[in-house]
Each structure stands twice: as structure tokens, then as C-alpha cells.
Amino acid sequence: MLEEVRIRALGVIEDAVLDLAPGLTVLTGETGAGKTMVVTSLGLLLGGKADPGAVRTGAASAVVEGSVVLPAGHPALARAEEAGAELDDGVLLLGRTVSAGRSRAHLGGRSVPAAVLAELADDLVAVHGQSDQHRLLRPARQRQALDRYAGPKAAEVLDRYRERWSRLREVEDRLHELTTRARERAQEADLLRFGLDEIEAVDPQPGEDAALREESDRLGHADALRTAALSAHAAILGDPDAYEDAPDAAGLLAAARRALEAERAHDPQLGGLADRLGEAAYLLTDLGADLAAYAASVDADPGRLAQVQDRRSELAALTRKYGESVDAVLEWARQAAQRLTGLEGDDDAVDALREERAALRAELGALAATLSTTRTKAAVRLGEEVTRELAALAMPRARVEVAVTQQAAESGDPGEGPGSAQTVLEVDGRAVVAGAYGVDTVELLLAANPGSPARPLGKGASGGELSRVMLALEVALAGADPVPTFVFDEVDAGVGGKAAVEVGRRLARLARRAQVIVVTHLPQVAAHADRHLVVVKDADGAVTRSGVATLDDEGRVQELSRMLAGLEGSGTARAHAQELLDAARAED
């Protein structure tokens, strides 16, 4: 519910606070005091179009701020959290600033587009006023209202229908993809087969490219490698082809050890060094043997080098196409084989999907038929109930009908898949256009007078009549509509006498389950209020300042007296005002 609304510099209102509460709140005041600006401020708070001309003369901008208290799990809270809003002790704060050429919206301390506030509005407040875009005039809302009125049975069938509809969309999307991309898939399969055949013909092995690269490098430098090994061997163990006294490392180590061995008996430490020289000589001799073996193993085999280079060329052809290395090529082949298996199985998948689609369409047709029957029965009851309510609201000759119709499918349109203009179901032997919520179009119609044709609600009613129809609908839908706050402006236009009392009674009845805010000029309506706010103004030269005051019992008597007779001090008017209050309290 709306807890508080603050208005600054909007029209004639300089600064006003609406302290709201559960139940029925009425807003009254003299003509020109600013009641319309209060409704305008609510419209701004709920994402309505901003008019810079409404900014108070001399002010840089107009500001409207509001706080909303909602129960946990309310859909508006989820949408607010998506927009980044934060709650302040369980209270959602909304704001709107209007200045020359622009407006800004805020939600829970975050700047948001005004459209976000408009989205929240559908779940927060239903505004019924002559210049507002009425919530129940929207076709989707009319269908939702009828479904809620129809009760749990309709909800159960609709939930099942929605579930099956969602699956049908998935099946048709997949079918559309498989059938419209058949040529592309065939081309992809051919490319995959070609690649796999090419890789299979070469038969690369894991790590083969690296091993061949090393072997090629070794074969290409065989002479240099052998010469290097033999030179190192000669340096260590001596060259048999050199002159007899040519020094070598092994001989020098042996001479060094002999020099130490001659004196080791005189010092154990020197003996240890001699032993270490012996170990070094052994290792050096072993290394020389390895160098000799390596030199003998190096073979400059031109034939083998040519084979290695040819093999590397084959592998390079694969790595240019399928991966940076042989291992990457093998991974591509694995994934390609999986993808090819999937592509080759698509024909079977198409057949299975077509069978599932046929079954889904048959099931949806049966569900749609049940849903249509339930809606049609509920539509008759709702129309009769609203018509009875209108009779007590000074519209005794008016008749409301709730039309439930279906659109016949165009001849020859199978309605299959995303490529079709529409989805068609067979319902009770007829081919009709289907949607996400069934095959029905729900429309509220009004015949204002006997004998006149029923016309769509937005076209068949004046502003005052429309507000009363909306009130009658909300009363009839009591308990079925989850919106926590209703705002009525000019709901009592053209109403007086007994009808005005009935308007007040019905607003009070609606307020038992929701917060109701009413802008009214009728004392019969104001008498039923749980909270009475009055827009007051004073004059300071050419500038008018308006504010909003909450009335106590005495203030209510005075305001009702003014509304009754235009004279706050009239004893007769005060007595009549008190009588209205007492009667309303007795009824409530």
C-alpha cells in the first residue's frame, strides 16, 4: 500500500504531504485547490508522462516522492530488485523529478528509467480517472481479470496450457532450425567427413610432430654432431692419430693423481684429494666412452631424412587446417566426430519432433476448449454481477457484457513453427488462432442504454460512466485482483442523491480488502472514509499555495458541511453532515 506521498512545486501545490493509511481515504477540497494535481502526482510517481508545464511558476523543478509497503514475495519487489533498488526498513521508495525538458525517476535509491516505474504500477496501483490510461481497458488485463474471477479451475487449466505451450514453442523452434537449415547442415556434414577422412588417411599419432622435428634436426646435422663428439672424445682420452705427447684430460688427471699419491702418506687430507682425482678420472673415462658410442651411432642417412621430411609435410598440411599441433588436430577430429554423429541423427530427430508437435497440438486444443468453456461461463456471471452493481450506481439501464471470442484461422495456414504468421489449434472441430494464454480474446463491452449495441468499454462510455463501470468491476472482482491500491478520480461524476450513497458504500466495501484513495466532491462518498484529507489553499497576491491536511472528527463535519451547503457554519448543514457520518459508520 501507499504509505506517504510528498509533492513539491507541482501546479498550485507548493509543498504537501499525503499521509495515507489502509482502508478508504478520500481527498476533497474546493474547486481549483489542487485535487487534480494530487492525481497528477500519483501518475508521475507511477511512470506517467511528465509535463514540464505542470511545474509550479517560479520553481526550477517539481518533485514527487512516495513510499510503498509491500508484503514479502510481491511481484513488484522482484522487479524492483532487478532494477537495483534497495528497501528502507521494508519500504520501497519511489521518486520523480520534472524540470524543463526532462524528468528523472528513482526507485529504492537508484536512478531508473520512468518505464520501470510504469512496469511496477501495474502491480502496485490501479488508477481510474477520466484522463488516465485505465488498467482494465488493456485487453491482457481484461483476460487476466476474467481468469481470476473464474477461480482455481481456470488457473489450473491455464497453468497446464502455458506449460504445454512453452514446450510446443521449443519443439517448433527446433524443428524450424532443423528443416530450414537442412542445406547448411548437409554442407557442414560433408566438410566434417572430408576432414575426418583426411586425418584418418595421415593417421597422426599423439606428439608425433615434436618427435619428428627433433629427428629431422639430428639427421640434418649428422656430420657436425659426429665431429663434435669425436673432438670431445679426443680432448678427454686423446687422439690416436695425433703425435704421441699430445695432452689429454685423462692423462693430465692421471699425472695429478700420481703427484698426490706420492705424498699422501704424510697427510690424510692430501690422500682424500687424491681419491677425488681418482673418481674424476673414472667419470671422465666413462664420459669418453659415451662420446665414442654417440659418434658411432650418428648416421647421416639421406633416405631416412627424406622420409622424416615427407612425414612432417603431411602433418603440416593437417595442422594448417585443423589445429596448431598434432594433438590439437586429434582433438578437432574427436569433436568433429561427435558433431557429425549429431548431424546424421537429425533426420530421426525431425520425425520424433513432428510426432511430439502433433501430440502437443492435440493436447493444447483440448486444454484450450476446456479453458474457453470455463471462461465463457465466468464471463456470463461477471457481466451480470457488474450490471447489477451499475444499477445501484445511477446507471440502471446500462448492461456490461464480457465477450469471449476466438479468431478463425486463415484458410490454408497450417500455423506451424516460427515461419508461420500464427499458431493454429483445432478446438471443438474448428481451426482457431492460438496464443500463449489460449485461443480466446476477452473484451469488456458496455451498452449504456436498452436497445443500443454493446461496444468496447473504452469506446462505449463517457468519462464518468467509465469510472463507475471500473468501480463496479473492482467490486465484482473483489478478492481476485492482487493490486493493493486503487485510486478513483471523478468516479462520482454526474452522480447524486441515493446513487452517491451507493458509490460510497461500494468504495467502502472495496476498501475492506485493499487500500482505496478517492478524489470526490460528494459528501455521501466522503462520509464513508477511514481517513479524510482536504486540499486547502490560501492566496498571497497572485500566487496560490495549496497543501493537504488530515481532518479530525470536527474537521470532517466542517468539510462535509461545506460540501453539502457551501457554508461551514450552517447549523442545518452541520446536522446533516453529522447524520451522514453516523449513518456511514453504522454501515461500515
Statement: residue 133 has pLDDT above 50:
no
User: pLDDT band at 328, cuts 50/70/90?
Assistant: very high
Pick 460 or 28 by higher pLDDT.
28
Element of type H or E holding 44: helix 35-45
- List, for residues 470-490, the tens digit of each pLDDT value: 778 877 876 566 678 888 876
**Is position 535 within any domain?**
no
Q: Of the candidates 144, 167, 27, which has an alpha carbon nearest to the alpha carbon of residue 488?
A: 27
- Work out the average pLDDT over 107-120: 87
CA pseudo-torsion sign 245, 247, 250, 255:
positive
- Work out the average pLDDT over 433-449: 91
Distances (CA, A) of 140 to 46, 122, 263: 19, 12, 113
Q: Which residue has the cell 670431445?
A: 232
User: pLDDT band at 121, cuts 50/70/90?
Assistant: confident
- Work out the average pLDDT over 4-12: 89
User: pLDDT band at 374, cuts 50/70/90?
Assistant: very high
User: pLDDT band at 23, cuts 50/70/90?
Assistant: very high
Dist. CA 377–CA 146, nearest whole Å: 10
The edge-to-edge listing of strands for the beta sheet with 515-519 is 110-112, 102-107, 91-99, 61-69, 2-10, 13-19, 543-550, 531-540, 24-29, 515-519, 485-489, 125-128
Statement: residue 450 has pLDDT above 80:
yes
Pick 264 or 560 by higher pLDDT.
560
- List, for residues 27-61, the tens digit of each pLDDT value: 998 877 677 788 888 888 888 888 888 888 888 89
Q: Which domain holds residue 275?
A: 208-324
Least confident of 91-95, 143-147, 319-323, 421-425: 421-425
Statement: residue 440 has pLDDT above 90:
yes
pLDDT at residue number 488: 82
- List, for residues 188-200, the tens digit of each pLDDT value: 888 999 999 999 9
31: Cβ–Cβ under 8 A, 6 or more apart, which residues? Answer: none
pLDDT at residue number 134: 55
pLDDT at residue number 132: 45
- List, for residues 546-586, the tens digit of each pLDDT value: 788 899 999 999 999 988 877 666 788 889 889 889 888 88
Q: Beta 125-128 vs 485-489: how paired, if at all?
A: parallel
- Work out the average pLDDT over 354-382: 95
pLDDT at residue number 480: 65
Q: Please write down the long-range contacts of 452-460, taking CB distance under 8 Å and 24 or more positions apart.
A: 454/399, 454/401, 454/403, 457/136, 457/137, 458/134, 458/137
Dist. CA 312–CA 314, nearest whole Å: 5
Least confident of 24-28, 86-90, 203-207, 430-434: 86-90
**Is position 201 within any domain?**
no
**Is position 215 within any domain?**
yes
**Is position 384 within any domain?**
no
Statement: residue 361 has pLDDT above 90:
yes
- List, for residues 501-539, the tens digit of each pLDDT value: 888 888 888 888 889 999 888 899 999 999 999 988 876
Pick 289 or 361 by higher pLDDT.
361
**Total domains in the fold of the chain:** 1
**Is position 137 within any domain?**
no
Least confident of 206-220, 231-245, 379-393: 231-245
**Is position 407 within any domain?**
no
Q: What percent of the chain has pLDDT over 70?
A: 90
Q: Supply the pTM of this predicted model.
A: 0.59
Statement: residue 356 has pLDDT above 90:
yes
pLDDT at residue number 491: 67
User: pLDDT band at 170, cuts 50/70/90?
Assistant: very high
Pick 308 or 563 by higher pLDDT.
563
Least confident of 3-17, 108-122, 215-229: 215-229
The answer to whether 192 and 340 are in contact (CB under 8 A) is: yes
**Is position 38 within any domain?**
no
User: pLDDT band at 292, cuts 50/70/90?
Assistant: confident
pLDDT at residue number 434: 94
**Is position 232 within any domain?**
yes
Pick 508 or 343 by higher pLDDT.
508
